[in-house]
Chains A and B, each alone.
Chain A
Amino acid sequence: MADDATTNGVVLAADGLPLKASLNKAMRKNRMRALLLVAPLFIFVLFSFLIPIFDMTMRSVDNWHVSGLMPETTKALENWDGKELPEEPVFAALILDLKAGAKSREIGKVGTRLNYEKSGLRSMITSSARKSKKVKEGPYKPIVLKMHKRWKELETWKVIKRNTSKYTIGYYLNAVDMKYDNETGDIVMQPEDRQIYGTLFMRTFAISLVITLICIVLAYPISYLLATLPVRYSNLLMIFVLLPFWTSLLVRTTAWIAMLQSQGVLNDLFVFFGLVDDANRLQLIHNLTGTIIAMTHILLPFMVLPLYSVMKTIPPSYMRAALSLGANPVTAYIRVYMPLTLSGIGAGSILVFILSIGYYITPALVGGTDGTLISNQIAYHMQSSLNWGLAGALGALLLFSVLALYLIYNKIVGIDNMRLG
């Protein structure tokens, strides 16, 4: 029925083909041309951005180590009930896997993976793999139990069994300070002395918010000045905004260390003017204060520039009109001028907030203990601990929370209202 209706209703072109199809054909060429133009950018973004992000996110759930490198044990453990130590077949399978793993020299990866769940399993796996080379014939159970004391613990086998599944949420649990209880298999909070990521996430968002607010307060008058001064003065002022913007990030951070340290310029001045005692110089760096000061300075241009470009487009006649209609200067400013700059504030805030959430170098250099952010932990797990699963999970959580904030912003302010100039 429906088919008939469409065939009947189709408008035909001169050559007898449906008009819609030939129009599409003609448009396709244009569309292809447009696609070709964006292709370089698309390929660049795909390979340098989307694929790596996807890869890291996959790593945060990937759990191939045990099932991939110990396939026999995985199969043998399938029907194990977890009530007491497994029987001989499992141990025979284990020996096979250990021998293969020692030969391919990849068994260490299993040890690394299991050690995230329970400290000590790394050396259990690697040393047992070394010893397995000499094992000739069974029964294997007593041989394995003698290899390392942890093989006798039921907990060890439960950890192995749990990680025979190909995917895990273990890294995400770790990233929110939770874990599997190795005895019962339930999801529980980490012991208090190992809870860290929740605090760091909260701190990262709090610091970013504070920096954004300070940037608004500092940038607003500067931008207003820039936008209203005659061009020859404002150009000079603009250089002062742009010069630090063009300076290397490391140079600026190091300069702040020289300024703020307790034997530094600022403290010397305070002591000279008698504001603080020489013995009690202020601790301004290697802590939260230092991070906020240095990051605010570095991110300030990202607030000034959008604000300036928005303010530049507000005709001065609006204010004059408000004044001539009887508003006093303050009212005119608050009710006419400021609402017009909201889009600039929104753009600047989003820029500054998102940049500071992922900030890494500056907190690493001046952050001390209470000024480091979640990105420093991600870098640590990427570079030093090599726990890429956890780094992926932390990164994904960061990414999703930024996206969530972006959506909230869009809902409240509306992304169309954002203007960068």
Chain B
Amino acid sequence: MNKILKLSALAVAGVAFAGMASTAQAVDLNVVSWGGAYTASQMNAYHKPYMKMNPGVKINSLDYSGGLAEMRAQTESGNVTWDLVDVVLSDAITGCDEGMFRPIKIDEEMAKAPDGTPASKDFLKGTLLSECFVPQIIYSTVFAYRADAWSGKKPTTMADVFDTAKFPGKRTLQKKPVNNLEWALLADGVPLDKIYDVLDTDAGKDRAFAKLATIKKDVIWWTEGAVPPQLLADGEAVFGTGYNGRWFSAIAEEKQPFAMLWDGQVLDIDGWAVPAKGKNVDAVMKFVKFATDTQRLADQAKYISYGPARMSSGPMVSKHATLGIEMGPHMPTKYANQGFLTNFAWWADNGDEMTERFNAWLLK
């Protein structure tokens, strides 16, 4: 009895000691991202290879649903537990302005392209809009429709989405003014490069709301990204806006009878931001440098249909890891000339006002 006790005490002590020894040099990084298929693609392309190369680093993948509320709460309380956050560009800009995120010197701290091009020249033009942000992928918010809804007829332009006589049925749109106002103007005949000039005038705002009003009774508003593919699959809606990755998995993996309408797609950028008061800044910067190099960004595209943010990664994009589909045609970057980039500066200034007006308009 006594012997057993002694032995087990020794074993416990041994385990505890081993544990202490390993924690002494190990770093735990809390990396926060959107969850689901997207986080899975990051684990496969970034986390797993990095942990293999650096046995001392353990990456904990946490999920969040976007927005800066938790980040701000952590920063204000002074107890920042997140080491790295996957954010959309607009949140990176706001967070950077409020001092939540750490500024990053792209050329000094990030990897060069294989041919030696400095990082700031290698990331796609227009993606480095915040000094606290390392771009990762280009995604788009884009319309898809049920291919079997109107026997033979096919919508090709944004104007078709707003034409309920020619293409009857419900549309499902995200319940916020961003993108919807731009699309309304586009459908009303405003050229792509003039959208924000028009929207900046009072008459332009009225015009956008007026155009949106023409389809108001045919709209189901969504707030969760999983909803629009579901509504289309159930036949509740014939048009829907959503993230192109979600449409890709509905079409390619679930074989839903949907088709993409790339016209008017809104390109957006997603990437990493490092909390300014994080506890492992040095360790996490090494990881970000690894995870945003040319090879890693190209690898991610094997698992999800979002375009890599580096020019040098583009030619390396190959087939889907499990489905064997050539990923090139499913990348939003291929149809970039049919779409536009959200004007974040405009929305930063007018977002509050437009959201109030949009919500009031919905209630009318």
Contact = CB atoms under 8 A, between A and B. Distances in A.
Contacts of A119: 349-350, 352-353
Contacts of B72: 386
B345 interface: yes
B144 to A, nearest CB: 18
A136 B234 CA distance: 64
A255 to B, nearest CB: 14
Nearest to A391: B69
Contact of B348 (A109, A123, A194, A261): A123
Interface string A102-116: 001111110110011
A120 B234 contact: no
Contact of B349 (A122, A196, A200, A384): A122
Interface residues of B, number: 35
Contacts of A385: 351-352, 355
A370 interface: yes
A251 B99 CA distance: 39
A369 interface: yes
B98 A108 contact: yes
A198 to B, nearest CB: 10
B221 A368 contact: yes
Given A106-B99, A120-B350, A263 B359 contact: no
B363 A193 contact: no
User: Interface SS of chain B: helix, strand, loop or mixed?
Assistant: helix
Given A115-B349, A194-B356, A263-B234, A386 B69 contact: yes
Contacts of A417: none
Contacts of A365: 224
B196 to A, nearest CB: 13
A116 to B, nearest CB: 6
Nearest to A126: B97
Given A193-B360, A194-B356, A200-B363, A106 B98 contact: yes
B223 interface: yes
Contacts of B234: 261, 263-264
Interface residues of A, number: 41
Contact of B352 (A115, A190, A195, A382): A115
Interface string B268-301: 0000000010000000000000000000000000
Interface in B59-114: 65, 67-69, 72, 94, 96-99, 103
A332 interface: no
Contact of A194 (B96, B349, B357, B362): B357
A69 to B, nearest CB: 10
B87 to A, nearest CB: 13
Contacts of B223: 364
Nearest to B360: A196
B345 A123 contact: yes
Interface centre among B72, B351, B356, B363 (most CB of A within 10 A): B356
A193 B357 contact: yes
A104 B99 contact: yes
A199 interface: yes
B241 to A, nearest CB: 16
A104 to B, nearest CB: 7
B198 to A, nearest CB: 17
Interface string A278-295: 000000001000000000
Interface string A234-274: 00000000000000000000000000011110000000000
B220 interface: yes
A287 to B, nearest CB: 9
Contacts of B97: 105, 107-109, 111-112, 126
Interface in A356-405: 364-365, 368-370, 377, 382-387
Interface in A214-242: none
A108 B356 contact: no
B236 interface: yes
Contacts of A261: 234, 236
Given A123-B349, A364-B223, A386-B72, A196 B94 contact: no
Nearest to B231: A261
A262 B352 contact: no
B99 A368 contact: no
A377 B220 contact: no
Interface string B208-247: 0000000000001101100000000011100000000000
Contact of A196 (B235, B276, B359): B359
A384 B352 CA distance: 11
A117 B293 CA distance: 43
A101 to B, nearest CB: 10
A107 B98 CA distance: 7
B361 interface: yes
A121 B235 CA distance: 44
Contacts of A364: 223
Nearest to B175: A369
B221 A369 contact: yes
Nearest to B209: A193
B131 to A, nearest CB: 10
Q: Which of B175, B345, B361 has the most CB of A within 10 A?
A: B175
A263 B237 CA distance: 10
Contacts of A123: 345, 348-349
Contacts of B345: 123
Interface in A177-219: 190, 192-196, 199-200
Contacts of B67: 383-384, 386
Given A263-B236, A369-B362, A369-B363, A386 B94 contact: yes
Interface in B161-181: 175
Interface string B305-317: 0000000000000
Interface string B321-364: 00000000000000000000000010011111101110111110
Contacts of A105: 96-97, 99, 103, 276
Contacts of B235: 263
Nearest to B359: A196
Contacts of A194: 353, 356-357, 360
A50 B99 CA distance: 29
Contacts of B352: 115-116, 119, 385, 387
Interface of B: 65, 67-69, 72, 94, 96-99, 103, 175, 220-221, 223-224, 234-236, 276, 345, 348-353, 355-357, 359-363
30 contacts: A105-B96, A105-B97, A105-B99, A105-B103, A106-B99, A107-B97, A108-B99, A119-B349, A119-B350, A119-B353, A120-B349, A190-B356, A193-B357, A193-B360, A194-B357, A194-B360, A199-B360, A261-B234, A263-B235, A364-B223, A365-B224, A368-B220, A368-B221, A369-B175, A369-B221, A369-B363, A382-B69, A383-B69, A385-B352, A386-B67
Given A192-B360, A262-B236, 18 more contacts: A106-B99, A108-B98, A109-B98, A109-B99, A112-B97, A121-B349, A122-B349, A193-B357, A193-B361, A194-B353, A194-B360, A195-B360, A370-B363, A383-B65, A385-B351, A386-B68, A386-B69, A386-B72
Top 5 closest pairs, chain A to chain B, by CB: A108-B97, A105-B99, A196-B360, A119-B353, A369-B362
